[in-house]
Amino acid sequence: MDLLGKLLVISGDDGRVSGRIIETEAYTADDPASHSFKGPTKRNEPMFGPAGHLYVYLSYGIHCCANIVTGGIGDGQAVLIRAIEPVVGIDAMRERRPGRPDRQLADGPGKLSAALGIDLSMNGLDLTDPAASIRVFDDGTRPPSDPIVGPRVGISTALDRPWRFRTPER
DNA sequence: AAAGAGATGGTCT
DNA sequence: GACCATCTCTTTT
């Protein structure tokens, strides 16, 4: 499941907001930089659940970051959503991120969670459930044939794994 | 333009 | 008690 180019849609109290996924990072259980590396714990439990579920964690005590579980049960594999391009509900995102230029509304894992209203209460949600408040849609946009591949960000080990993928500017 | 530091809290040792 | 899959503001070139 290639996530680049897909739509992330959140249905909240004040309507619906969505964005196109333009940057991701892969994390696996045999990866020293992954939360799942040391085995299942209370926090990373969703990572060891079925694919298509959401894994949200609190980063640096302040920000929420959203992952989509990609492995099967017990695999401990997920993809961090690092950036999205606002598509629907840009006004709502501006309200949630006052004072920020549009370019910086959701161009980081913590920023996109704030802009879209993703928080810890959404941890573990089943994105394949039609009734879920957060879902991933394929609107026909093809994933980039020439994604930018590079080292991951914000980690201190396994820096040699080029598992960061970004949609190029058009 | 780049570099540095503080905020802030759950999780794990 | 240390460590972060971060962000923003302030200070320095």
The structural domains of chain A, with segments of one domain joined by +, span 7-140+148-166
Q: Which nucleotide does the CA of A45 lie closest to, via C1'?
A: B11
Nucleotides of C under 7 A from a protein CB: 4-9
- Determine contact, residues A133/A125, Cβ cutoff 8 Å: yes
A115 Cβ contacts chain C strand, under 7 Å: no
Q: Which nucleotide does the CA of A80 lie closest to, via C1'?
A: C5
A131 Cβ contacts chain C strand, under 7 Å: no
pLDDT, tens digit, 9 for 90 and up, residues A70-110 = 999 999 999 999 999 999 999 999 999 999 999 999 999 99
The proportion of chain A whose per-residue pLDDT surpasses 70, expressed as a percent, equals 99
pLDDT, tens digit, 9 for 90 and up, residues A130-143 = 999 999 999 999 99
**C1’ B12 / CA A109, Å:** 23
Report the pLDDT value the prediction gives residue A169, as an integer from 0 to 100: 83
Confidence of residue A150 (pLDDT cuts 50, 70, 90): very high
Q: What amino acid occupies position A25?
A: E
Return mean pLDDT, chain A: 96
Confidence of residue A13 (pLDDT cuts 50, 70, 90): confident
CATH number listed for the domain at residues A7-140+148-166: 3.10.300.10
The string of DSSP codes covering A11-64 is: EETTEEEEEEEEEEEEE-TT-TTSTTTT---TTTGGGGS-TTBEEEEEETTTEE
Report the pLDDT value the prediction gives residue A65, as an integer from 0 to 100: 98
Nearest 5°: the CA angle A78, A100, A17 is: 50
**C1’ C9 / CA A62, Å:** 16
Report the pLDDT value the prediction gives residue A1, as an integer from 0 to 100: 66
Report the pLDDT value the prediction gives residue A14, as an integer from 0 to 100: 77
